[in-house]
Amino acid sequence: MTVLTRRQFAILPAAALAAEAIAMPGSAQPASPPITRAIPATGEPLPAVGLGTAAVFDSDDETTRQNASAVLQALVGNGGRLIDTASTYGDAERVLGETIAAAGLRDKLFIATKLESPDAAELGRSLSRLQTRKVDLLQLHNVSDPRQSLAAFKDWKAQGLCRYIGITSTFHGAFPAVEAVLPREKPDFVQVDYSIEDREAEKRILPLAADNKCGVLTALPFGRGRLFRAVHGQTLPDWASVFAGSWAQFFLKYLIGNPTVTAVIPGTANAAHMIDNLGAMRGPLPDPDQRQRMVQLIEAL
């Protein structure tokens, strides 16, 4: 069994990507159904690996558009659906909207975006840029006020402008606000930063989400690249190769191994990395003992 580094995977010629995906345990293989998680509010299944777009498609230029097209095709072609973006991610909404429309992919995607405030004008801009009449998930970005109301978001949901609503935070200092808003307003989703090296959300937010039947999206699953730097030059241990074919899948499968996690949303502008990431929703997941061993390995680095 061949275990590839992130760099080795990225430079494979396009013709070889599918073959490598089939060869790697836990990777995207047509015969193996993807891992999905039921959205607690409705039971709707959602593929467990999606795409984050922060600092990924924020420039409206030809290179960015080509990358977006390749990544979206890789996402859909390998069993993914979820794209997460925001009104403040530069030109990401515009690039995604035009790319999705040109490829006719809207019905194959679960589109999530974020607003900075309950502002109808901001929502209108997002829908226009994304070239859609409604999004699947509309989130209030970086909640910081424990008294925050989601009344406007609930009204927009009732009007059919979104199917689900949510809140987000990637700042631990704002977790008290999330802990106050989540049980009171009962959003359909909460999005937090969560990785094998940063497990604060695992202790505080995920149990609360489970108690309130709230779906969980995990941002920054690679710790802003710190995890790849930590394992640079190191080989995936044999005991982990039974469920992961790369370090990316190792990091993502730790998160998906928590049943409260609905989907992980690593960001990438590289189609090969997208395929590698999607491999984390194929094959076996680590059991609790293996997850603890994973943590011990990373903490020892």
Over the stretch 97-142, which tens digit does the pLDDT of each residue have?
999 999 999 999 999 999 999 999 999 999 999 999 999 999 999 9
Distance of alpha carbon 137 from alpha carbon 26, whole angstroms: 28
Q: List the domain boundaries for the chain.
A: 45-299
CA distance 93 to 97: 6
Contact 75, 64 (CB under 8 A): no
Cα separation values, 213 from 123, 135, 237, 261, 266, Å? 26, 21, 36, 12, 23
Task: Please say if the pLDDT value at position 5 is more than 70.
Answer: no
Q: Return all residues near 129 (Cβ < 8 A) that are at least 6 apart.
A: 93, 94, 97
Q: What superfamily in CATH does domain 45-299 come from?
A: NADP-dependent oxidoreductase domain (3.20.20.100)
DSSP for 124-147 reads HHHHHHHT-S-EEEEEESS---TT
The encoded tokens of residue 101 equal: 């429309």
Taking residues 187-192, what's their average pLDDT? 98
The mean pLDDT value for 241-268 works out to: 98
Q: What is the pLDDT of residue 256?
A: 98
Note the pTM of the prediction, 2 decimals: 0.90
Q: Is 15 exposed, middle or buried (0-12, 13-18, 19+ CB in 10 A)?
A: exposed
pLDDT at 20: 43
pLDDT, one tens digit per residue, over 41-90 is 999 999 999 999 999 999 999 999 999 999 999 999 999 999 999 999 99
State the burial class of residue 70 (Cβ atoms within 10 Å of its Cβ: 0-12, 13-18, 19+): middle
pLDDT digits (tens, 9 = 90+) for 213-236: 999 999 999 998 999 999 999 999
Q: Judge whether residue 16 has pLDDT over 70.
A: no
- Whole-number pLDDT of residue 32: 78
